[in-house]
Amino acid sequence: MTDDECDPRYQAVSSRDARFDGEFFFAVRTTGIYCRPSCPAVTPKRRNVAFFPTAAAAQGHGFRACRRCRPDAVPGSAAWNVRADVVGRAVRMIGDGVVDREGVPGLAVRLGYSTRQVQRQLTAELGAGPVALARAQRAHTARVLLQTTALPVTDVAFAAGFSSVRQFNDTIRAVYARTPTALRAETAAVPATASGVPLRLAHRGPYAAGEVFDLLAAEALPGVEEVTGRPGARTYRRTLRLPYGPGVVAVGERAPGPWLEARLHLADLRDLTTAVHRLRRLLDLDADPYAVAERLAADPLLAPEVAARPGVRSPGAADPEEYALRAVLGPEESARVLAEHGTPLDAPDGTLRALFPTPADLTGHPVAGPLARALDGGALRLDPGADRDEAARALADVPGVGPRTAALIRTRSLGDPDVPAPDVPDAPRRAPWRSYARRYLEAVTPG
């Protein structure tokens, strides 16, 4: 075996190792196609293979997405959950649709860097700048809409975030080597009675769905959320406050493959990318359970639990500000606040009838007021690109937010995978997965 063939990335491709899907991509120079590591096609010769850190980088070098393995539909790299630097923050914000809504200048302002600095850092690490990363995301959103809805092609173009039909057509041809019409024709016709956008939300490795749905059921706020069905076959539904309008999402607990099945009902389809990103953060679908297990299994206290409970996740929040306010208010007061200040849906969806109040709605509340004012005034940021350390310092200055609540907000609202439990001795050896360790510790040290 040559040195090139000993490359761990090539070995992952040769063994079709799904653990690395989304962590990197490989392209075949002789075919002009890029794939995920687990692609079932015949393994190409090493000399014909090029590796890329992102799908956007592969597309930028002229490679087209594989039709067999759908490399644009893989889980995101777990690195973006862990990293707190400018690149990690930028990727999370691009996933949330910031570039589509505010452009690269808006992204740069949120990061506190110049557009040139953001472009340089992303290109150096990811092989693609913010525009290319957002373009790859728009292409994936367009494919989902083309293949799961009966929307006219022109409507798909603008719903996916493209500024013109011509840009949309050119991008689809470049990424998929087909026209939008041909891409749609590859799937069965969408039934006339179908409603919403059906999705398969991919995850990496084992996924302890039961524990995630147990937590969602325990926390559900009537009117905003509900969990129905029997354990093992439950459905989680909730309302979403999105940039262009409200939405309702339903996610199933079980699926026949490495994904969760969901359906999104959106007032404005331009919110699809943002809604999916927030749902993935809530359900912690981009985590790397193999890396978590490897680290935490070395802890004698946690090792038995890690072995017995594969795929434990550290859920985030569909709406970071909502979660923070509810953490301060508690369940009973959250219900009262929803009844008094919630935004009613124009058309209630079953038991789901409202959006939780915004921070601006609660600045005068006797309990949530200080936190609401910090959020509304910008002193505290909890969006996907927020600096976690700055947010922690800001939380410490908010009256009424104690260490335990602050740790919960950092874990859930900010999606920080490495928050030590404030009520147990810290164990740095569990870093960078102390948020996951806390999920295991709840079973080891109940109460």
- Domain CATH number, residue 53: 3.40.10.10
Number of domains observed in the structure of the chain = 4
Examine the domain organization and report whether 205 and 107 are in the same domain. Answer: no
Examine the domain organization and report whether 95 and 169 are in the same domain. Answer: yes
Q: Please report whether residue 59 resides in a domain.
A: yes
Q: Please report whether residue 29 resides in a domain.
A: yes
Q: What distance in Å separates the CA atoms of residue 342 and residue 357, rounded to the nearest whole number?
A: 5
Q: For tokens 């996916």, name the residue.
A: 160
Among 45-59, 142-156, 199-213, 325-339, the least confident range: 142-156
- Are 71 and 65 in contact by the 8 Å Cβ rule? The answer is yes
Examine the domain organization and report whether 203 and 181 are in the same domain. Answer: no
Q: Please report whether residue 434 resides in a domain.
A: no
Examine the domain organization and report whether 64 and 93 are in the same domain. Answer: no
Please report which residue ranges of 15-129 form alpha helices under DSSP H.
55-60, 79-82, 86-95, 98-111, 115-126
Neighbours of 379 (CB within 10 A): 11
Reported pTM: 0.90
Model confidence over 143-190: pLDDT tens digits?
999 988 888 999 999 999 998 999 999 999 999 999 999 999 887 666
Q: What distance in Å separates the CA atoms of residue 38 and residue 17, rounded to the nearest whole number?
A: 5
- The residue among 262, 286, 310 that closes a domain is 286
Q: CATH number for the domain including 177? A: 1.10.10.60
Q: For tokens 């689809």, name the residue.
A: 172
Mean predicted confidence (pLDDT) in 64-82? 85
Examine the domain organization and report whether 68 and 83 are in the same domain. Answer: no
Kind of pairing between the strands at 49-52 and 25-28: antiparallel
Examine the domain organization and report whether 221 and 266 are in the same domain. Answer: yes
Q: Please report whether residue 331 resides in a domain.
A: yes
Mean predicted confidence (pLDDT) in 345-355? 96
Q: CATH number for the domain including 409? A: 1.10.340.30
| The pLDDT of residue 218 is above 70 | yes
Examine the domain organization and report whether 64 and 91 are in the same domain. Answer: no
Q: CATH number for the domain including 224? A: 3.30.310.20
Model confidence over 435-447: pLDDT tens digits?
999 999 886 665 5
Examine the domain organization and report whether 340 and 409 are in the same domain. Answer: yes
**Of these residues, 170, 268, 389, 423, which one is catalytic?**
423
Residue 383 known to be catalytic: no
Q: What is the C-alpha radius of gyration for the chain, rounded to an integer number of angstroms?
A: 22
- The residue among 51, 73, 95 that closes a domain is 73
Q: For residue 403, give its domain range.
A: 320-416
Q: Please report whether residue 208 resides in a domain.
A: yes
Residue 35 known to be catalytic: yes
**Of these residues, 21, 35, 96, 319, which one is catalytic?**
35
Examine the domain organization and report whether 180 and 101 are in the same domain. Answer: yes
- Are 197 and 148 in contact by the 8 Å Cβ rule? The answer is yes
Kind of pairing between the strands at 33-35 and 64-65: parallel
E strands along 118-234, which residues?
Answer: 197-202, 225-228
Q: What distance in Å separates the CA atoms of residue 224 and residue 219, rounded to the nearest whole number?
A: 11
Q: Please report whether residue 64 resides in a domain.
A: yes
Model confidence over 19-68: pLDDT tens digits?
899 899 999 999 999 999 999 999 999 999 999 999 999 999 999 999 88
Please report, as a single letter, which amino acid is at residue 142.
A
Short-list 372, 410, 377, CA closest to 391: 410
Which residues on neighbouring strands pair with residue 49, listed in sequence order?
A: 28
Examine the domain organization and report whether 27 and 122 are in the same domain. Answer: no
- The residue among 56, 73, 90 that closes a domain is 73
CB-based contacts of 392, cutoff 8 Å, min separation 6: 406, 410
Q: Alpha-carbon dihedral of residues 65, 88, 282, 56, nearest 10 degrees?
A: -10
Examine the domain organization and report whether 226 and 281 are in the same domain. Answer: yes
